[in-house]
Amino acid sequence: LVLAGTIQFAAALRTAKSILIIIPQSKPLSAGEVLGCTAPKLVVFVADGRFHLEAFMIANPAIKAFRYDPYLRVLFFEEYDQDGMREVRKNAILRAKSARSWGIVLGTLGRQGNPKILERLMSEKGTVVLISELSPARISMFGNSVDAWIQIACPRLSIDWGEAFPQPLLTPFEAHVALGLLPGWWEDYPMDYFAQDGGKWNCAYTKK
């Protein structure tokens, strides 16, 4: 098993390190830290909520995931609707394939947006919009002038709330699939957006 958690419990994870097999690290994140879009393998997760743990479960659908809440002092067995999530994202990609006009949202909040991803996607197509906080209301202001959106911000906006948007809202990974830059994906879903060793669709990717 791997013990990981959210950043507020990083000190406790380091204290426990001497009795653990491994505390994983996806640089530039701290050892044992994951975001809602970056996940290594097996886990007992220390957190007071399940948002960040869901990244583990999405990336590793076959694992048994447990969450320890240090405030309640309770260990929870957590589950995730893998089939439902993948079906929704597959349908969004298929809808976007027929789009004639594209919009690309570059997130300006923190380190979420990566201009290098924007440069690669702009070479394909798209009108660029800079937004600090993406919402259905803001996207709706563009009406029907855009058939599909790519958001370079937080992948979980698409995964968790994509159905709330009027047009398909794709992550950079999903956009690569929809545009034919990657082979069709319908199985494993990468959650490596902040991992330096992840794919060229992620925020930390710097290679040409």
Give the CATH number, domain containing residue 134.
Answer: 3.40.50.11860
Owning domain of residue 116: 83-178
30 CB burial (10 A radius; 0-12, 13-18, 19+): middle
The arithmetic mean of pLDDT across residues 94-99, rounded, is 95
Structural domain total, the chain: 2
Residues with Cβ within 8 Å of 144's Cβ and at least 6 positions away in sequence, in order, are: none
Looking at the structure, do residues 88 and 169 belong to the same domain, yes or no?
yes
Kindly state the helix (H) or strand (E) to which residue 3 belongs, with its residue range. Answer: strand 3-5
Task: For residues 168 and 79, give the distance between their C-alpha atoms in angstroms, rounded to a whole number.
Answer: 26
**pLDDT at residue number 41:** 57
Give the mean pLDDT of the chain: 86
Q: What is the mean pLDDT of residues 36-41?
A: 58
User: 20 and 89 in one domain?
Assistant: no
What is each CA distance from 136 to 113, 133, 163, in whole angstroms? 18, 10, 10
- CA atoms of 96 and 174, how far apart (whole Å): 10
Residues 6+ apart with CB under 8 A from 52: 5, 6, 34, 35, 36, 45
Contact 39, 56 (CB under 8 A): yes
Do residues 47 and 116 both lie within one domain? no
In a domain, 185, yes or no: no
Read off φ and ψ for residue 19, nearest 5 degrees.
-110, 10
Helix count and strand count (H, E) for the chain: 7, 8
Which residue, 78, 98, 132, sits at the end of a domain?
Answer: 78
To the question of pTM greater than 0.85 for the whole model, the response is no
Q: What pLDDT does 164 receive?
A: 96
As a whole number, mean pLDDT of residues 85-92 equals: 95
Return the pLDDT at 131: 92
C-alpha distance from residue 63 to each of 1, 31, 59, 88, 159 (Å): 10, 21, 9, 21, 19
Helix or strand or coil: residue 12?
Answer: helix
CB distance 4 to 45 below 8 Å:
yes
Q: Are 151 and 71 in a shared domain?
A: no
Q: Name the more confident of 181 and 163.
A: 163
Mean pLDDT of 167-192: 88
> Do residues 166 and 105 both lie within one domain?
yes
Domain stops at, among 14, 45, 78: 78
97 and 132 share a domain? Answer: yes
**Where a domain ends, among 78, 100, 120?**
78
Q: Are residues 32 and 111 in the same domain?
A: no
Confidence of residue 79 (pLDDT cuts 50, 70, 90): very high
Higher-pLDDT residue of 188, 157:
157
